[in-house]
Amino acid sequence: MNAEHMAKLFKILGDDKRLRILLCIGKNRCSVSEIIGNTSFSQTLVSFHLRILREACILKAERQGAFIYYQLVDAELLDLVSKFNEFVSKMPLEIREEEYSCPCPPTGNNILTGRYGKFSNLVLKK
Residues that bind DNA (CB under 7 A): 11, 14-15, 17-18, 31-33, 36, 42-52, 61, 63, 65-68, 105, 110-114, 124, 126
Residue type, 122: L
SS3 104: coil
Q: Which of 29, 34, 38, 104 binds a second copy (CB under 8 A)?
A: 104
CA separation for the pair 23, 8 (Å, rounded)? 19
Q: Tell me how far, at minimum, the Cβ of 87 lies from a second copy, in Å.
A: 6
- Separation of CA 50 from chain center: 15
The answer to whether 74 and 83 are in contact (CB under 8 A) is no
Q: Which of 23, 31, 34, 38 binds a second copy (CB under 8 A)?
A: 23
Nearer to DNA, 61 or 75 (CB): 61
Q: What is the DSSP letter of 106?
A: P
89 binds, among DNA, a second copy, none (CB under 5 to 8 A by kind): a second copy
For the segment 69-98, give every residue that binds a second copy (CB under 8 A). Answer: 73-74, 76-77, 80-85, 87-92, 94-96
Under rule CB under 8 A, which residues in 24-53 are in contact with a second copy? none
Does 1 interact with a second copy (rule: CB under 8 A)? yes
5's contact among a second copy, DNA, none, with CB below 5 to 8 A by partner kind, is a second copy
3-class secondary-structure state, position 69: strand
Cis check for the bond before 105: say yes or no (omega within 30 of 0). yes
Alpha-carbon distance 58 to 12, whole Å? 9
